[in-house]
Structure 1
Amino acid sequence: MISIAELVRRAGDAEVLPLITVSEFFDGNDEEESIAANQWEYGRPPLAELAERFREIEQRDDVAWVRVQLHPETLETDELTGEAVAICTSADEAICESWVDGLDSSGITSGLIDEYVDVPAVPNGMSIWSVTWD
């Protein structure tokens, strides 16, 4: 799991959060309320299952990358808090929705939901979909 100190370093003077990898967010993270806190114990699967699902998505041939979008208050609270998960893919909305079925998400939204640094390149023919939880 990425440290807050590393997030601060990568955010720089502008304090714009980086998109972080699935491993940076989930590896060693046992804080169930660190993502989709309002859905934890109300339908959202455990972190381990979320991590596994996003790692599976990341391995698909039609996916360039998957990153966790941190909540803007992460730097203020010194707590790693995910707000959404970005998927860069050539798949359409319906297919992406099928990948996250059962995660108790609010669905997917086109594009990133906030401003971030360390956003990997988006290859031709691909777009970004964000998995959100409200």
Structure 2
Amino acid sequence: MDLRKALFAKVAALHEIDSKHFPIVSIDDYFVGNDDEESIAPNQWGDGRPPVQEIYARLKEIEARPDVHGVFVGIHQDWPDSDRFEQWVPAENIHIYSSAPQEVADQWIEGLLSDGIGPGWPYGKHAAAPEPLAGYHVYTIYWD
């Protein structure tokens, strides 16, 4: 099974668990094999947003920090269309589980051409999303 179809199947299974909240997947599940530049922040592509694989590399650096225990991709609500059009599943945002203060998290988005990073789940927490460790909270990087 190709990686795009495997991701789609995973997102579909997560949707079955909780159809009221956007599914989340690991950054590896989302970015490995992804060369679709319009799969994340498409409105900023060509306007200064780094390439998809550069975003992935930056997120891997964040994930490796001692004050981070998880980085996940929030899936966009239009994900079902990706199978029909044979595109990569679209992303809505990035969730980071961290104990870092906001002023540290603010530095993580430099150069990503995002609209910001803030605390919490903007569309609610998916039922299958892991719980943050004690002392950790969720930050969300968002575009548009």
Structure-1-length-normalised TM-score: 0.92
**Number of the residue aligned with 2:119:** 110
**Number of the residue aligned with 2:139:** 129
| Residue aligned with 1:34, SS | coil
CA shift for structure 1 position 18: 2.3
Amino acid at match of 2:99: S
Correspondences of 1:35-74 after superposition (within 5 Å) = 35-74=40-79
Q: 1:125 to 1:73 in 2, by over 3 A?
A: same
Q: Which runs of 4+ in 1 moved over 3 A?
A: 76-79
Q: How many positions carry a matched residue from both structures? A: 134
Amino acid at match of 1:97: D
RMSD: 1.6
User: Would the aligned equivalents of 1:32 and 1:40 in 2 still touch at CA under 8 Å?
Assistant: yes
Q: Distance in 2 between matches of 1:27 and 1:77?
A: 17
CA shift for structure 1 position 97: 1.0
Indicate yes or no: 2:43 matched with 1:34. Answer: no
2:96 paired residue among 87, 90, 97: 87
Q: Percent identity?
A: 34
Q: 1:17 to 1:117 in 2, by over 3 A?
A: farther
Amino acid at match of 2:74: Q
Structure-2-length-normalised TM-score: 0.86
